Amino acid sequence: MTSASHYSLLVVDDEPDLRTLYELTLLREGYDVEAAATVEDAWARLKDRTYSAVITDMRLPDGTGLDLLRRLEEAGRREKTIMITAFGSPENAVEALKAGAYDYLTKPVDLKQFRTVVASALGRPSAVPASGAAASSAVPAAPHTRGSVRVTAPAVLVTGASGAMERMAGMSPAMQQVRSLIEKVARSMAPVLVQGESGTGKELVARSIHEVSARRGQPFIAVNCGAIPEQLLEAEFFGYRKGAFTGANEDREGFFQAARGGTLFLDEIGDLPLSMQSKLLRVIQERAVRPVGAVAETPIDVRIVSATHKDLAAEVQAGRFRQDLYYRLNVIQIRVPALRERLEDLPLICERVLERIAQDAEVWPPPRLTPAALAHLARYPFPGNIRELENLLHRAVALSGGEWIDQPDLELPDAVLNETALQEADAPLVTGGVELPAARGAGAVPPASQAPLPSDLAAYLDEVERDILIRALERHRYNRTAAGASLGLSLRQMRYRMARLGVMVAEHGVAVESDDH
């Protein structure tokens, strides 16, 4: 592990006593520390060298910490910024997070928390010891709530690659925006609220944020807030001590402790009862949890991503959701569009889903949709979005029993089909439309005249090519020569294309380098 002295920190505060306190605390942790008293003083130092992180007070004599943060962002600097805000000004904290700060601390600064936040920004294990009591299990779900929580063990990933991000098919402008937001928010601790209809891929977005972030080596804990009985919520979220209530035979960790250093995904946050909302708010504000039956609080370093299919603002209006919690969770919002709003993604998503179905069933090649079947699907409104599409394709694969899935295999009742789309979709079939890139698999793409035009042709074609390279590599056990030959390419051409598109053969599979790295 990198030793603390390899991290250099810049502390910016105009109050000499506080500056010294921060400096001493960090020096004691072994970091290399420099200090500045004003925005200009800090900037002069930043022009000379780079730091691992900048810790700045919000109010400075010649400007604000936000001014410094914006300058760093504009200059494309990689320093993580931690903002120290006055007590009782949550709007400043939210503004700092929105402007790209890694995290914030509120005055008077709790030094334990200070050390935790700095360690977290540097991607180091927290200096603060974990929960005082021995935890019996890292997986907190009690038998009665099993199924409400999913734990992902720290995944070993090739730099820049993300399993969840790779799973997320689609090149529509809306999906490209979702991807770029994920990359952006992954750099900070800012709470993210993912909104979208059921089955649109909200959990996939949350997982992507975790996997792209520096927390990827730590757990990702997904909790379905609506699936836990109200009387168990507190114990499940914060853990409990032996003897706290009847049946508490041992100390047990909660979701927050289990997600230590990682990400806690609170799915269906809109279903959380009001009593639990206030407890959650307190934990977020204090960054500490108190297990049921415990005397002391334990500091926590957890990033919160929440999701809902409800209109939370309307829930606030109706008095069912606390406004202050909404405000805390909704620092950055990512909206995942419904499938019917991005029909141009339908061919790619169908193809990806069919590949997964084939993989699970250990059949090859994956079944494909005939153009008529795809056009038919495009007329269906998909109230259950991609999850519904998955179920529908599962059934269709079973019904078709072969390599091709045709319109009748989909079993879509005519009554629910969209008539406008019907006219548009039928026309090219009558005239025999030309199919988009044949290499994507005949039938996996609708005739060109049916498909909405991509807004960025080069990016769209790159995505198509990348997908083909990955599939060929997978089919040929990651042998580049064989994969290339199957596509009519020499090894040299294959290497060139892989390098151009950031496709790498890793130890256990294919990885795609994201543009950001």
Among 8, 38, 136, 198, binds ligand ATP (CB under 6 A): 198
Answer yes or no: are the C-beta atoms of 34 and 11 closer than 8 Å.
yes
Q: Which is nearer to ligand ATP, 65 or 196 (CB)?
A: 196
Nearest residue to 440 (alpha-carbon basis) of 428, 432, 448:
448
Q: Residue 51 CB, nearest distance to ligand ATP (Å)?
A: 37
SS3 211: helix
Within 100-159, which residues bind ligand ATP (CB under 6 A)? none
Q: Which is nearer to ligand ATP, 201 or 447 (CB)?
A: 201
State the CB neighbour count (10 A cutoff) for residue 129: 9
Q: Residue 297 CB, nearest distance to ligand ATP (Å)?
A: 31
Contact flag: residue 337 with ligand ATP (CB under 6 A) = no
Q: Residue 388 CB, nearest distance to ligand ATP (Å)?
A: 9
Contact flag: residue 371 with ligand ATP (CB under 6 A) = no
CA distance 115 to 4: 12
Q: Which is nearer to ligand ATP, 169 or 329 (CB)?
A: 169
DSSP string, 221-286: EEEEGGGS-GGGHHHHHH-B-TTSSTT--S-B--HHHHTTTSEEEEETGGGS-HHHHHHHHHHHHH
Among 55, 60, 94, 168, binds ligand ATP (CB under 6 A): 168
Of 136-144, 228-236, 310-318, 384-392, the segment contacting ligand ATP by CB under 6 A is 384-392
N- to C-terminal Cα distance for the chain?
Answer: 21
CA distances from 144 to 23, 141, 171, 220, 229 (A): 48, 8, 41, 21, 9
State the CB neighbour count (10 A cutoff) for residue 246: 6
Contact flag: residue 349 with ligand ATP (CB under 6 A) = yes
Contact flag: residue 204 with ligand ATP (CB under 6 A) = yes
CA distance 511 to 417: 39
CA distance 341 to 418: 13
CA distance 95 to 99: 6
Of 198-206, 253-261, 404-412, 465-473, the segment contacting ligand ATP by CB under 6 A is 198-206
Q: Which residue is nearest to ligand ATP, using beta carbons?
A: 201
Answer yes or no: are the C-beta atoms of 321 and 270 closer than 8 Å.
yes
Q: Residue 386 CB, nearest distance to ligand ATP (Å)?
A: 4
Answer yes or no: are the C-beta atoms of 141 and 148 closer than 8 Å.
yes
Site string for ligand ATP, 222-261 (x = CB under 6 A): ----------------------------------------
Among 57, 183, 203, 409, binds ligand ATP (CB under 6 A): 203
CA distance 218 to 227: 24
93 phi and psi angles, rounded to 5 deg = -65, -45
Among 80, 309, 376, 471, binds ligand ATP (CB under 6 A): 309
Q: Which is nearer to ligand ATP, 200 or 257 (CB)?
A: 200
Among 80, 115, 124, 202, binds ligand ATP (CB under 6 A): 202
Of 24-32, 106-114, 130-138, 168-176, the segment contacting ligand ATP by CB under 6 A is 168-176
Q: Residue 462 CB, nearest distance to ligand ATP (Å)?
A: 17
Tokens of 496: 């060139």
Write b or e for each residue in 280-302: b if 16 or more Cβ atoms lie within 10 A of its Cβ, otherwise e. bbebbeebbbbbbbbeeebbbbb
Among 387, 394, 475, 495, binds ligand ATP (CB under 6 A): 387
Of 52-60, 257-265, 367-375, 383-391, the segment contacting ligand ATP by CB under 6 A is 383-391
The footprint of ligand ATP (CB under 6 A) covers 167-170, 196, 198-204, 267, 309, 349, 352, 386-387, 390
